[in-house]
Structure 1
Amino acid sequence: MKFEEVQLIYRNRTPASNRPNVKCPKDAYDILLKNWDMNLIGLIEECKVLLLDRSLKLMSVASVSKGGMSGTIVDPKVIFSMALKRRASSIILAHNHPSGNLEPSDADIGLTRNFMAAGKVLQIPLQDHIIITKEGYNSIISDGYILANDR
């Protein structure tokens, strides 16, 4: 009987000097807009993750899920497995609100807290969780929806 073999392999195709810095929510928003299908941003909810190195330079943008008009599945196991495989030092979670409303829901805030806790255990901190639309963005962490003592 044969079983699957697990190997740890890493091939870096983009040198760090060619990767953009993501030092604030606006940097993340600009990158996300370039990687979002503008034909769908107002139609279906989608989740993406930015994978960052220790210097907060972008390593990868990964599409996590696409859902319906009012939600999508955001599975921490999927996101953190991507981060581990890419050897990311931190992540930024992002999703759009097709309604155009930038205010985070209670579910968005709860999800952020869950990712903060999981990131702490895995030593891959959640830098931010950003809600985006064509017109703008809202940062759940930087804009104070999560209190400092919650972090």
Structure 2
Amino acid sequence: MVQQENTFKVAEVEVTYRPKFKALERPKITTSGQAYSLLLSRWSKGKIELLEEFKVVLLNRNNRVLGIADISQGGVSGTVVDPKIIFAISLKANASSIILCHNHPSGNIKPSDADIQLTRKMVEGGRLLDVTVWDHLIISNEGYYSLVDNGMI
């Protein structure tokens, strides 16, 4: 009897990080206002009042910005956010902390129940992975709502 060898085909996974700037050249975020200014400068002005988008600011241990990741783009009333994707990007970038952000095309920056639930889920997941969720900002052209500043994180 010939024993058949079981062969498993798996993809090779390689983790790399190639920063283009020195750490001291990156912006440092210490307030929600600074995060809002940075995000607003990187947001498509033609889309902020058109459709909902979700982004994440990746930070190192010194709160220097490693990058801004575009997570999802949806419609007028929502976008799908997968925590696995956010944490995969955060871990690949070796981020120590993150700031969650999305816009409300209506201009109403008050968080919805879904926004609050997602934030709680992300904070819990971050604790397990040692990635701190510093804040969740809801932005518009006219201003922003910080869940941290309002005692919700």
Is the pair's TM-score, using the shorter chain for normalization, greater than 0.5? yes
Report the alpha carbon displacement of residue 121 of structure 1 after superposing the two structures with TM: 0.4
Query: In structure 1, how many angstroms separate the alpha carbons of the residues matched to 2:22 and 2:47?
Result: 31
Task: Choose the corresponding residue for 1:90, options 92, 97, 104.
Answer: 97
TM-score of the superposed pair, with normalisation by structure 2: 0.92
Q: Which runs of 4+ in 1 moved over 4 A?
A: none
Matched, 1:64 2:71: yes
Query: In structure 2, how many angstroms separate the alpha carbons of the residues matched to 1:81 and 1:142?
Result: 27
Report the alpha carbon displacement of residue 145 of structure 1 after superposing the two structures with TM: 2.8
Query: In structure 1, how many angstroms separate the alpha carbons of the residues matched to 2:97 and 2:125?
Result: 12
5 Å-filtered alignment, 1:11-26, equals 11-26=18-33
Matched, 1:3 2:10: yes
Task: Choose the corresponding residue for 1:49, options 31, 53, 56.
Answer: 56
Query: In structure 2, how many angstroms separate the alpha carbons of the residues matched to 1:79 and 1:63?
Result: 9
Query: In structure 1, how many angstroms separate the alpha carbons of the residues matched to 2:119 and 2:98?
Result: 12
Query: In structure 2, how many angstroms separate the alpha carbons of the residues matched to 1:43 and 1:66?
Result: 11
Report the alpha carbon displacement of residue 144 of structure 1 after superposing the two structures with TM: 1.5
Q: Tell me, which stretches of 5 or more residues in structure 1 are unaligned?
A: 147-151
Task: Summarize deviations over 1:12-53 as a string: whole Å, max 9, x none.
Answer: 221111100111100100110111001010010000000000
Report the alpha carbon displacement of residue 7 of structure 1 after superposing the two structures with TM: 2.0
Report the alpha carbon displacement of residue 6 of structure 1 after superposing the two structures with TM: 1.4
Letter in 2 for 1:90: S
Letter in 2 for 1:47: F
5 Å-filtered alignment, 1:1-151, equals 2-146=9-153
- Could you say what the CA RMSD is over the residues aligned between the two structures, in angstroms? 1.1
Q: Which secondary structure does the structure 1 equivalent of 2:11 belong to?
A: coil
Calculate percent identity across the aligned residue pairs.
Answer: 49
